[in-house]
C-alpha cells in the first residue's frame, strides 16, 4: 500500500513547517493584541508565548 497523502494525516500536517510558521505568526499577533490591551502582565504574556510556541511551533521555539 502506498504511503498516505499528508493531507490525510492531520498530526503530520500540524507539525509541518508551514503550519508552524502560521502558528508562530498567530502567537505574535495575539501577543501584540494583548500587550496593547493592557489586560495581562509582561510576565503572563511571556509565559503564554513560551507555552503556545512550544505546543504549536516547537521547531521555531525561541523565535517569537
Which pLDDT does position 40 carry in this prediction? Answer: 98
Domain segments of the chain as ranges: 16-60
**19-57, pLDDT tens digit by residue?**
999 999 999 999 999 999 999 999 999 999 999 999 999
Look at phi and psi of residue 62 and say left if phi exceeds 0, alpha if psi is from -120 to 50, else beta: left
Which pLDDT does position 11 carry in this prediction? Answer: 80
DSSP summary character for residue 8 = G
Which pLDDT does position 63 carry in this prediction? Answer: 76
Q: Among candidates 30, 50, 37, which has minimal Cα distance to 58? A: 50
C-alpha cell at position 52: 503556545
Q: Between 18 and 6, where is the model more confident?
A: 18
pTM (global) more than 0.75? yes
Instruction: Return the sign of the alpha-carbon dihedral for residues 24, 30, 31, 36.
Output: positive
- Secondary structure of residue 43 in the 3-state scheme: helix
Amino acid at each position: 500500500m502506498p504511503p498516505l497523502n499528508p493531507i490525510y494525516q492531520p498530526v503530520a500536517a500540524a507539525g509541518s513547517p508551514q503550519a508552524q510558521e502560521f502558528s508562530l505568526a498567530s502567537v505574535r499577533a495575539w501577543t501584540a493584541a494583548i500587550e496593547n490591551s493592557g489586560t495581562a502582565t509582561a510576565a503572563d504574556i511571556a509565559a503564554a508565548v513560551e507555552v503556545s510556541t512550544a505546543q504549536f511551533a516547537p521547531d521555531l521555539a525561541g523565535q517569537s
